[in-house]
């Protein structure tokens, strides 16, 4: 191909990928599989690398982010990003309505646009000639940080527009983190020994200010756009402008409504006060805007907020209930977490019996005492938390709570590491919850994937057959048959599962060891960079910190883990059991599946499901448990359930037989 043909090919790929982004992230109507999308993206990346003269800052390839450190510049907003006046009171909304009518005249008809108030972080994006130009945070309202590279990673935000748009304009909106992503992120943080985020809003805000846009891309943020600013807007109606912006490629909420009276505003509020819990993301209220742009300009601004808009904030649902007791849970790292046991109470549509107390500082700050009546909210509408005490109901003889000084399981003295909020039990060798917690982590699906649940581990531990994770590989059929509830078949299944686990890749074995702060992602990075367990054992803290994404805290934790003689003893026993303690270079190069999401169902003739799952990972695919529109392949054996096949048909997912799967990876 000559240069002109190559340029056309690159432009065509960019247009095609932009169209698929819009279909998937805005319309929720994908017309291509993730696998095919990724292959198209890789083709574009290859062309762009070979022909840098055709570079475009708004190419779909920027969606994956960069590992270069961003430095945030501050710029002044063309239009101030003012905050809205808030109210929790319907009467104050009536006053707002009357103020507007007094200014514009009681006989002038006008409409309101009622919209969801997304609980995220505000952003303003500028477009010039239909192309993404710059994204800026709210900041102090007058100026904010330029976070363009991070915002470009959000796939629901278009980089190039289609249709008839103004030459230059700004569009404002809210960057959010959906509940599913938030829960996944917090699970990973807890797994790594990090403090979880309090709510999706904090997580979204923190993510936008990360220095590494490649890491931002992994967080899978979303965004809704809700306001246009600029000259030559399509309509005098704010509501119509949003509808038009949708045709340009923007993700605009469908859950908005244009109404003519304040009574209709109340109806909209009352509806969403109940329905908000069904949304897959957080909202904390309703925004009411005068719809006419001309009337907005006539009404003008106060010193800090527009006169033509107001937000009604939902009251955080809060209940009072009795604190019955406090459990102190011991994690596999020895961290102590206090958990409040409460009299059962209904909160935000669920029954709450327990709430986290986080640490000793929270208990002291709130002066929480046993038998107190406490106020419970759902932080970010997800995590139950105690926010205060009703001291009017406090028992006269109550006394301040004394935080425990010794481990509730093994009675070892607790320590508090400087700079950390948690207390720890350091008796790693003889504290039962820590030992069993390490075993549960070791057998988990992302680790060794051994078919051994918590109850079985508890039984084996109590019988003396398991004292550490290496003992799994020295269990005998006779020992297992001695246990209550185990028969010939169940014993064979457990031993077969243990045997299959020996094929797990080095990165999974490394993750399974349970090194503090080393989640599955960090384990992959360490395996890729150090190749063997011996290299890791011999490396220094300085060498570890030179590795991308490995900070000082992770480096110190990894280094100290391999200085522990008991850990080395366990590793040597696992090594003698033929576990994989070095990376398979051939495995690294086999990325044939390129991130394809595959659901396995049914039984197979020549291979077990676990063997096939291992192959999917080795060839660069992802095992997922349930069928959705993002599934690329459905690998079907015999006796597939009808409900799964119904979803496969509905989403038009390609079905693979066992033979077709092996043909694909070869």
Neighbours of 256 (CB within 10 A): 19
CA distance 566 to 570: 6
- Side by side, the strands of the sheet bearing 283-290 are 85-87, 309-313, 283-290, 112-118, 257-259
Could you confirm whether 531 is annotated as catalytic?
A: no
State phi, psi for 303 to the nearest 5 degrees.
Answer: -60, -30
Max CA separation in the chain (angstroms): 90
CA distance 327 to 332: 16
Contact 141, 79 (CB under 8 A): no
Contact 542, 559 (CB under 8 A): no
State phi, psi for 77 to the nearest 5 degrees.
Answer: -70, 140
Contact 533, 571 (CB under 8 A): yes
SS3 170: strand
In this structure, the strands spanning 633-636 and 654-656 are parallel
SS3 208: helix
Length of the chain: 666
SS3 508: helix
Alpha carbon 600 to chain centroid, angstroms = 24
At 121, list the tokens. Answer: 């972080």
3-state secondary structure 38-94: HHHHHHHHHHHHHCHHHCCCCCHHHHHCCCCECCCCEEECCCCCCCCEEECCHHHHH
Q: Residue 55 burial (CB < 10 Å; 0-12/13-18/19+)?
A: exposed
Alpha carbon 559 to chain centroid, angstroms = 29
Contact 338, 328 (CB under 8 A): yes
Contact 144, 78 (CB under 8 A): no
Beta bridge partners of 388: 375
Contact 114, 256 (CB under 8 A): yes
Contact 371, 395 (CB under 8 A): yes
Residue-by-residue DSSP string for 235-255: -SBHHHHHHHHHHHT----S-
Contact 143, 191 (CB under 8 A): no
Q: What is the DSSP letter of 391?
A: G
CA distance 237 to 224: 19
Contact 267, 257 (CB under 8 A): no
At 356, list the tokens. Answer: 């986290």
Residues 6 or more apart in contact with residue 359 via CB below 8 angstroms = 337, 338, 421, 422, 423
Q: What is the DSSP letter of 314?
A: P
CA distances from 377 to 118, 365, 385 (A): 19, 17, 6
Residue-by-residue DSSP string for 531-589: -BHHHHHH--HHHHHTSTT--HHHHHHHHHHTT-HHHHHHHHHHHHTT---B--HHHHH
Catalytic residue among 3, 76, 94, 117: 117
Catalytic residues: 117
């Amino acid at each position: 191909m000559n240069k002109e043909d190559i340029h056309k090919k690159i432009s065509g790929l960019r247009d095609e990928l932009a169209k698929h982004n819009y279909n998937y992230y805005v319309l929720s109507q994908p017309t291509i599989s993730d696998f095919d999308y990724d292959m198209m993206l890789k083709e574009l990346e290859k062309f762009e690398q070979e022909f840098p003269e055709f570079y475009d800052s708004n190419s779909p390839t920027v969606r994956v982010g960069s590992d270069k450190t961003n430095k945030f510049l501050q710029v002044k907003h063309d239009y101030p990003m003012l905050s809205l006046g808030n109210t929790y009171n319907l009467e104050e909304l009536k006053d707002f309505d009357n103020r507007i009518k007094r200014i514009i005249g009681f006989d002038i008809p006008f409409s309101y646009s009622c919209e969801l108030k997304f609980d995220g972080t505000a952003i303003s994006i500028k477009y010039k000639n239909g192309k993404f130009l710059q994204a800026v945070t709210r900041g102090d309202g007058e100026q904010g940080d330029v976070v363009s590279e991070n915002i470009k990673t959000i796939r629901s935000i278009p980089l190039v527009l289609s249709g008839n748009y103004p030459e230059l304009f700004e569009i404002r909106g809210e960057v959010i983190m959906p509940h599913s992503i938030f829960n996944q992120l917090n699970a990973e943080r807890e797994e790594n020994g990090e403090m979880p985020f309090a709510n999706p809003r904090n997580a979204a805000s923190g993510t936008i200010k990360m220095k590494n846009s490649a890491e931002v891309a992994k967080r899978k943020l979303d965004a809704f756009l809700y306001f246009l600013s600029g000259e030559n807007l399509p309509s005098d109606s704010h509501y119509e402008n949003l509808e038009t912006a949708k045709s340009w490629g923007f993700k605009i909420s469908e859950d908005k409504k244009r109404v003519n009276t304040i009574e209709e505003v109340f109806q909209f509020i009352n509806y969403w006060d109940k329905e908000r819990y069904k949304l897959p993301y957080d909202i904390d209220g309703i925004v009411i805007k005068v719809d006419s742009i001309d009337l907005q300009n006539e009404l003008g601004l106060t010193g800090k907020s527009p006169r033509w808009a107001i937000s009604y904030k939902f009251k955080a649902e809060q209940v009072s209930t009795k604190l019955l007791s406090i459990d102190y849970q011991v994690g596999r790292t020895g961290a102590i977490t206090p958990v409040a046991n409460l009299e059962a109470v209904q909160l935000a549509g669920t029954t709450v019996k327990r709430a986290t107390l986080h640490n000793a500082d929270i208990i002291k700050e709130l002066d929480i005492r046993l038998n107190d009546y406490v106020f419970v909210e759902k932080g970010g509408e997800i995590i139950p938390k105690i926010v205060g005490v009703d001291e009017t109901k406090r028992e006269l003889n109550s006394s301040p709570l004394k935080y425990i000084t010794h481990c509730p399981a093994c009675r070892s003295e607790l320590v508090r590491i400087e700079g950390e909020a948690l207390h720890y039990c350091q008796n790693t060798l003889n504290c039962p919850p820590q030992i069993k917690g390490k075993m549960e982590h070791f057998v988990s699906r992302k680790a060794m994937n051994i078919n051994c649940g918590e109850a079985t581990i508890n039984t084996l531990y109590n019988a003396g057959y398991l004292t550490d994770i290496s003992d799994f590989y020295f269990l005998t059929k006779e020992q297992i048959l001695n246990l209550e509830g185990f028969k010939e078949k169940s014993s064979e299944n457990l031993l077969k599962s243990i045997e299959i686990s020996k094929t797990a890749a080095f990165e999974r074995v490394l993750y399974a060891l349970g090194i503090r702060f080393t989640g599955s992602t960090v384990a992959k990075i360490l395996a890729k960079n150090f190749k063997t367990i011996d290299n890791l054992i011999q490396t220094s803290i300085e060498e570890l910190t030179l590795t991308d994404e490995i900070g000082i805290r992770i480096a110190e934790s990894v280094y100290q883990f391999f200085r522990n003689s008991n850990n080395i003893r366990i590793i040597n026993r696992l090594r003698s059991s033929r576990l994989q303690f070095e990376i398979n270079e051939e495995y690294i190069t086999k990325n044939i599946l390129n991130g394809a999401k595959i659901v396995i169902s049914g039984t197979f003739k020549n291979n077990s499901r676990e063997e096939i799952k291992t192959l999917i990972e080795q060839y660069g695919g992802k095992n997922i448990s349930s069928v959705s529109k993002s599934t690329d392949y459905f690998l079907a054996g015999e006796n597939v359930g009808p409900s799964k096949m119904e979803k496969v048909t509905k989403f038009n997912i390609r079905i693979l037989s066992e033979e077709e799967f092996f043909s694909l990876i070869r």
